[in-house]
Amino acid sequence: MSRASSAVSHPIVAAVREFVVREVAPAAPVFEHADLYPHALVARMKELGLFGALVPREYGGLGLDVSTYARVIEEICRGFMSLAGVINSHTMAALIVLQHGTDEQRRRLLPRFAAGLARGGLCLTEPHAGSDVQAIRTVAQRDGDRYLISGSKMFVTNGREGNTFALLALTDPGASPRHRGMSCFIVEKGAAGLEVVKSIAKLGYKGVDTAELLFERFPCPAANLVGGVEGRGFKHVMSGLETGRINIAARAVGVAQAALDEAARTVDSETPLPALADVATKVEAARLVTYWAAARKDRGERCDLEAGMAKLYASEAAQEAAVAAMGIVGPTSQLTAHSVERLYRDAPLMIVGEGTSEIQKMVIGRRLLEEYSVD
């Protein structure tokens, strides 16, 4: 166990750690290899209040700061990274309502998010768009006191098991620049016109449902237009990237720590100690940069630079740690009975999720030019 991770600063972190050790880690191989949704573990997270982790207490949530939330995510990912995805996508949807919704939307939706009654997700990516959010084609056409939504969304975490999604759509397809014609809606399952087309098979990140959703003139109440004003959806979605990237960094730290734990358990006289030292150093460095970014977020400071650095470094450190752990553990690391092979398959998601490493480098570079006033 690392020195940094042994410092428990909040009771919920200790509770989650015990939950992971006693319930998550033993069950993870079963859910992961069968690619089964972990209903029982998700129900326990609901009991712990984790669906309201960043929702203020006044709306029934835990009211955690981002640093504590990141510690919770790290602990979960040491046992089963997929489980954190259930909470993260949900939390991002809740934060959009918290930060950009009307007072009525907050009162109506946030208690449901906090209680886990509304199980959230993000409907952003489309089959042709990928990382280019401004290339979306999903449209929302006003029809009296509702909008009719048509389009396809890909890689929706909680797409099958969830019921409440933050969806980005075009309300003014002719707007220039294009992002000014985008609006964000809270879409709730129940009406006709929404189909879960398929669950998407993946290399890793198994056990959590990732789906393609098809909307065909799906009715969404106008009261669920986030903020009550059209044309602000792109800003709403982008504002959550800092927290999202810190979350991915925390996930990566958890996976990297798990790889280090597995490698250290196999230490013997033939273990390449420099390789073990490299992994341990990268894990601690990744943790420090992640909580540095989280602390800035908690202080209300701009942290797109720091969040980008944390996501970039931690995600690549997790990948390197998983690869190194396979070498240290040896041939048995290839067996499906060994958790190292799962970590090896899970790690690439953090490099791609919330913007690839190349995108993070562009964000970091642009911010550095801005900071140093280079024209």
- Candidates 212, 262, 306, 354; catalytic one: 354
Place of tokens 């720590």: 257
- Residue (of 312, 327, 311) closest to 278 by Cα position: 327
DSSP state of 140: E
354 is catalytic: yes
69 near 53, Cβ under 8 Å? yes
Cα R_g (the chain), whole angstroms: 20
Beta strands in 207-304 (DSSP E): 210-221
What is the spatial distance between Cα 304 and Cα 318, in angstroms, rounded to a whole number? 21
Q: In 144-209, which ranges are E strands? A: 146-157, 164-170, 182-188, 194-199
DSSP result, 1-64: --TTTT---SHHHHHHHHHIIIIIHHHHHHHHHHT---HHHHHHHHHTTGGGTTS-GGGTS---
β-strand partners of 142: 147
Quick check: helix, strand or coil at residue 138?
A: coil
Residue with tokens 């016109």: 193
Unique residue bearing structure tokens 């944390």: 310
Establish how many alpha carbons lie within 13 A of residue 17's alpha carbon, considering only the half-sphere containing its beta carbon. Answer: 15
C-alpha–C-alpha distance, residues 367 and 375, integer Å:
12
Query: DSSP letters along 304-341, please?
Result: HHHHHHHHHHHHHHHHHHHHHHHHHH-GGGGSTTSHHH
| Spacing of C-alpha 114 from chain mean position | 17
Q: Which residues are catalytic?
A: 354
